[in-house]
Amino acid sequence: MSAHVHEPRSACLNDKHAFETKNAPYVPLASIPRHFMNYGFIIDNRKCIGCHACSTACKSENEVPLGVYRTWVKYVETGVYPDARRHFQVTRCNHCANPPCVRICPVTAMYQRADGIVEFDPSLCIGCKACLQACPYDAIYIDPDSGTAAKCHYCSHRTEIGLEPACVVVCPEHAIIAGDIDDPSTEISRLLATQDVTVRKPEQGTAPKLFYIDGNDVALHPTATERAAELYVGGCDTVACGGGTGAEGNGRKGGKWERSDAEGSQQWDGDQDAGSAGAAVGGADSDR
């Protein structure tokens, strides 16, 4: 198989010549049969500056509606002043090798391609939301315009013509590395071979193919933190969202898809007493 080594880049999204380097001529990924590919991501947390360029590039590239996200940067703060630290974690579909979202879909609208991308087909989706329940990573949402499931699809429309996902190209730090994890000559394979990596919730047995270099335990662990709800994006009709900005709330079918929710911060703690649990998530009506 041909080698395709990608150097750090910052390029116009559609300029394939921007990918050429002296050492490694541009080899369109589309020229490699898809069944020989196994796409994955590395997020290099040593480099990520939390700038959200990936989030916005994804929104723009995939015309993602307001209030829903295919990729976003989670911020977690730890420590005590002056030794406090903010950790960034780019969060999205992991294109799991063993995807429960695919197994549960009753109509093959969520499916796994031969090249390892977990893809969706909005023309088939019936909007049963079972895949949202099956994904242990909150990677799927219902598109408020079409009423169908959607998520990161590895920019398959770009990958098929030899371009990298929009988030990869736009990242100013080259903190997102995409490529074939089974081809030892790719940058992603070399990094996987030489760096310590972690994945989200390995115990779920889903075999995520998004790997974090320098992954932060707290950020990887959704129930480990307090949640300052007023800083959340997504409006106030969501799980664990309190007095949020409300700027991007959405609700299909006049609120069929809505709920009001908690006030204040939230902390999941198996030992918390009834009173604190009530304060954490109370004041809400979860009915439609």
Partner 1 sequence: MAEGMVQTVYNAQHKVPWHWPVPAYLVTKAIGAGVFMVLALGFGLHLFGFDRETAVIGLLVSLAFVAITTLLLVYDLERPERFFSILLRPQWKSWLTRGAFILIGFAVVAGVWWLLETLAYFGVLGSGLADAARPIALWTGVVLAGGAAIYTAFLFGQAEGRDLWQSSLLPFHLIVQALVAGSGVLLLMDAFWGLPESVGAVSLIVFIAALLVDLFITLVGEFGMPHASETAAAAAHEISHGRYRGHFWFGSILLGHIVPLALVALTVLLASPLLLVAAALAAITGLYFYEYVFVMAPQEVPNS
Residues 50-89 interacting with partner 1 (rule: CB under 8 A) = 69, 72-80, 84, 86
Among residues 4, 21, 10, 5, the alpha carbon closest in space to that of 54 is found at 10
Ordered DSSP codes for 108-159: SSEEE-TTS-EEE-TTT-----HHHHH-TT---EE-TTT-SEE---TTHHHH
Residues in the chain: 288
Pick from 29, 37, 73, 101 the residue near ligand SF4 by CB under 6 A. 101
Indicate the SS3 state at residue 89. strand
Q: Which does 239 bind (CB under 5 to 8 A by kind): partner 1, ligand SF4, none?
A: partner 1
**Smallest gap from residue 186 Cβ to ligand SF4 (A):** 20
Site string for ligand SF4, 202-241 (x = CB under 6 A): ----x-----------------------------------
CA 141 to chain centre: 11
Give the separation between CA 109 and CA 273, rounded to whole angstroms: 42
Q: What are phi and psi of 99, to 5 degrees?
A: -85, 115
Q: What are phi and psi of 19, to 5 degrees?
A: -85, -10
**Smallest gap from residue 145 Cβ to ligand SF4 (A):** 15
Complex with ligand SF4: residue 9 or 34, whichever CB lies closer: 34
Which tokens belong to 90?
């780019």
Q: Which does 72 bind (CB under 5 to 8 A by kind): ligand SF4, partner 1, none?
A: partner 1
Complex with partner 1: residue 89 or 159, whichever CB lies closer: 89
Complex with ligand SF4: residue 4 or 92, whichever CB lies closer: 92
Which tokens belong to 287?
């009915």
Ordered DSSP codes for 27-67: --GGGS-GGG--EEEEEETTT-----HHHHHHHHHHTPPTT
Give the separation between CA 51 and CA 75, rounded to whole angstroms: 11
Q: Within positions 242 to 261, which residues make up the interface with partner 1, using CB under 8 A?
A: 244, 252-253, 257-259
Q: Within positions 64 to 93, which residues make up the interface with ligand SF4, using CB under 6 A?
A: 93
**Smallest gap from residue 216 Cβ to ligand SF4 (A):** 19
130 touches ligand SF4 (CB under 6 A):
yes
**Smallest gap from residue 189 Cβ to partner 1 (A):** 27
Site string for partner 1, 129-168 (x = CB under 8 A): xx-xxxxxxxx-xx----xx--------------------
Q: Residue 11: count other Cβ atoms within 10 Å of its Cβ.
A: 14
Ordered DSSP codes for 238-273: STT--S---TT---GGGGTT------S-EE--TT--
Pick from 17, 22, 23, 203 the residue near partner 1 by CB under 8 A. 203
Q: Which does 213 bind (CB under 5 to 8 A by kind): ligand SF4, partner 1, none?
A: none
Which residues contribute to the site for ligand SF4 (CB under 6 A)? 93-96, 99-101, 104-107, 109-110, 118, 120, 125-131, 135, 137, 139-140, 148-149, 151, 206
